[in-house]
Structure 1
Amino acid sequence: MNTKKINVACFGEVLWDKFMDGNRRAGGAPFNVAYHLSKMEIEAYMISSVGKDALGIELLEKIQNWKIPTEGIQESTQYPTSQVLATLDENNEAQYEIVDQVAWDYIESQPSDIVKVANSDALVFGTLAARNATSRNTLLELVEASPYNIFDINLRPPHFDVALIKQLLHHTNLAKFNKAELRLILDFLDKSYQNEVDSIRFIQDTFGIKEVIVSKGSKGAIYAYEDVIYHYPTIPITVKDTVGSGDSFLAGFISKSLEKGSSAEEIMSNAVSLGAFITSKEGACPDYSLSDFLAFRDQHNVKPIPELI
């Protein structure tokens, strides 16, 4: 697919999502991005930590079976592998109960990871894994080393710090929000919400960010590149669940945007299509082939629309 192998590092939580039916599935927002990047034939490198326990061993085996490198995933003897209780509401929207003092709260800085990030095409990170000082300090080192920072805001109240979000935004090349997160960040900045375009312009100007994505679920998505804004509809599908849908959208965006010669239309079509494709399946990391996804994307042939949706 690519003449030169694209390398993307993802920093943050890897964990087990535990569902009310007793099933558990590998997850964590940055890991979900890494999983889908790997499916898109991108070389994804995960920087995280699991416990040196039965759940950690099982999680590492699963990741290895998915052909995703695990050398950046540390094993903690002090803190357990993370488990998150995931529930689905009547609209199949996911809610999470997140336990603290787990292995990915204590991701240590490693010289090998800094070198890996410095030689990658991009670094993907969010806010959740920065809730603890150890992982937060490691992230700040990686952000300084990275040539291209992708900040998936991914707010999980109360696990975020406004001052840190502002600091990270000042080091961000591409910022991704959902609509609720965009409004919340504006509140933090004492900026009244007018409309999406005005909000995006404010974020770009305040933090010097060229690229901003706003995902809006069933109402599509917006991509701003400097002064140009693209509006995209969603693909009508039967929703299985929304676990990891934003992560797959971001992976679809990244995989095409880092491919030389891709147009904004191709990038957003890929992003919207992968988000819809995964939402029509169960779980954040369902099994699928690249050819399955490409057939879905080409069948729907998403086009931009000229006005806000």
Structure 2
Amino acid sequence: MINKSTKTIVCFGEILWDIFPKGRKIGGAPFNVAYNLNKMGIDARMISRVGNDDLGKELLEKISNANISVNECQIDPNHDTGTVIAKIDENNEAHYTIVEPVAWDFIEWKDEYVNLVKNTEAFVFGSLGTRNNISKQTLQKLLDIAPYKVFDINLRPPFISQEDIVQFMKKSDLVKMNKSELRQLLDWIGVEYVTEEKAVQYVRKYFNLEAIIITKGSKGAVYHDKDNYIYAEAIKVAIRDTVGSGDSFLAGFLAKKVKGSSVNESIENAISLGAFITNSEGACPDYSLETFEKFKTSHKL
């Protein structure tokens, strides 16, 4: 049993099964963040929706077994639990089909969410969970009451709405994106990419963000707020797979930030957790905080 802090972070959006040729794994970017926050000792809550089917019941059982509350996870009587079908091509590359419509497209508003979200240290959401108007409308209400909003853009074609993403950027405090998403965003607002630093600084000011994070895989990450522009190198590890590495990075950062750690400490924890998950199999491997801390100590930045 994890000794959780009194710090709570709420994640909103998709929870699903990634179905690979060799079996299925629990997934969904917001859930990956919640799972790893929980491992870091944060009281992570997941607002989502599963179907009233065997896959949904198994998901709820796994979430509960991971010591994460299922109280905010709705059960849909009419739609199936979310699935993503992964196919591996002749070059060993995975291609994904995100099935629709599914239960997490229909996350309904509940008055009981108000106190939870008003009092959370951070509220985490992405763009995929808004592809249906019902979940999107619920999210918009939650954003109106969340004190600190964290947007992980996480573009997933063809479920991309330029208008929605720009509006969500304007409502956010912290935004995480990768390098290609940064370029896409600049294109949408009609700004030419010159250098990475100028692009990051422009986007932060344009959207009036408290901070922006750019993840760059094996090339590390960039953090920028009004006082800092930090480049952090990646930790070199043997890559088992890269599934959920960006999600774990965000979890590592937020876990330290909400406990009052410095920006440098938060970034170090983010880089370390991202590397640790990349060195493991799947986005939500079973591990202890002690195991991660040993990894972190032996792979100092």
TM-score range, shorter chain: over 0.9
Q: Which residue in the other structure is 2:151 paired with?
A: 151
Q: Which residue in the other structure is 1:13 paired with?
A: 14
Letter in 1 for 2:64: Q
Letter in 1 for 2:97: E
Letter in 2 for 1:69: S
Q: Which residue in the other structure is 1:267 paired with?
A: 266
Looking at structure 2, the residues matched to 237 and 125 of structure 1 have their Cα atoms a distance apart, in angstroms, of 28
Whether the 8 Å contact between 1:151 and 1:174 is mirrored in structure 2 is yes
Looking at structure 1, the residues matched to 299 and 241 of structure 2 have their Cα atoms a distance apart, in angstroms, of 20
Letter in 2 for 1:51: G
CA shift at 1:86, angstroms?
A: 2.7
Looking at structure 1, the residues matched to 104 and 216 of structure 2 have their Cα atoms a distance apart, in angstroms, of 29
Letter in 2 for 1:61: E
Whether the 8 Å contact between 1:16 and 1:84 is mirrored in structure 2 is yes
- CA distance change for structure 1 residues 83 and 3 in 2, over 3 Å: closer, same or farther? closer
Q: Which residue in the other structure is 2:293 paired with?
A: 294
SS in 2 for 1:17: strand
Write out aligned runs for 1:1-309 (5 A): 5-21=6-22, 23-87=23-87, 95-260=95-260, 262-302=261-301
- CA distance change for structure 1 residues 243 and 116 in 2, over 3 Å: closer, same or farther? same
CA shift at 1:51, angstroms?
A: 0.2
Whether the 8 Å contact between 2:45 and 2:72 is mirrored in structure 1 is yes
Looking at structure 1, the residues matched to 34 and 91 of structure 2 have their Cα atoms a distance apart, in angstroms, of 26
Whether the 8 Å contact between 2:84 and 2:96 is mirrored in structure 1 is yes
CA shift at 1:114, angstroms?
A: 2.3
Whether the 8 Å contact between 1:48 and 1:107 is mirrored in structure 2 is yes
| Root mean square deviation of aligned Cα | 1.7
Looking at structure 2, the residues matched to 191 and 202 of structure 1 have their Cα atoms a distance apart, in angstroms, of 9
SS in 2 for 1:111: coil
Looking at structure 2, the residues matched to 94 and 227 of structure 1 have their Cα atoms a distance apart, in angstroms, of 40
Looking at structure 2, the residues matched to 223 and 273 of structure 1 have their Cα atoms a distance apart, in angstroms, of 15
Letter in 2 for 1:132: N
Whether the 8 Å contact between 1:2 and 1:259 is mirrored in structure 2 is no
Looking at structure 1, the residues matched to 202 and 188 of structure 2 have their Cα atoms a distance apart, in angstroms, of 13
For structure 2, which runs of at least 5 residues remain unmatched after alignment?
A: none
Whether the 8 Å contact between 1:114 and 1:141 is mirrored in structure 2 is no
- CA distance change for structure 1 residues 39 and 223 in 2, over 3 Å: closer, same or farther? same
CA shift at 1:113, angstroms?
A: 1.4
Letter in 1 for 2:283: A
Whether the 8 Å contact between 1:7 and 1:45 is mirrored in structure 2 is yes
Letter in 1 for 2:31: F
- 1:78-130 Cα shifts (integer Å, max 9, x gaps): 11001101346789775421011100000000111122111111100000010
Counting matched residue pairs gives 300
Letter in 1 for 2:204: Q
Letter in 2 for 1:43: D
Letter in 2 for 1:268: I
- CA distance change for structure 1 residues 179 and 156 in 2, over 3 Å: closer, same or farther? same
- CA distance change for structure 1 residues 263 and 91 in 2, over 3 Å: closer, same or farther? farther
- CA distance change for structure 1 residues 91 and 170 in 2, over 3 Å: closer, same or farther? farther
Q: Normalised by the size of structure 1, how large is the TM-score?
A: 0.94
CA shift at 1:196, angstroms?
A: 1.3
Whether the 8 Å contact between 1:129 and 1:136 is mirrored in structure 2 is yes
Identity, % of aligned positions: 48
Letter in 1 for 2:188: F
Q: Normalised by the size of structure 2, how large is the TM-score?
A: 0.96
- 1:119-172 Cα shifts (integer Å, max 9, x gaps): 111100000010100000000011111000000000001112111111111111
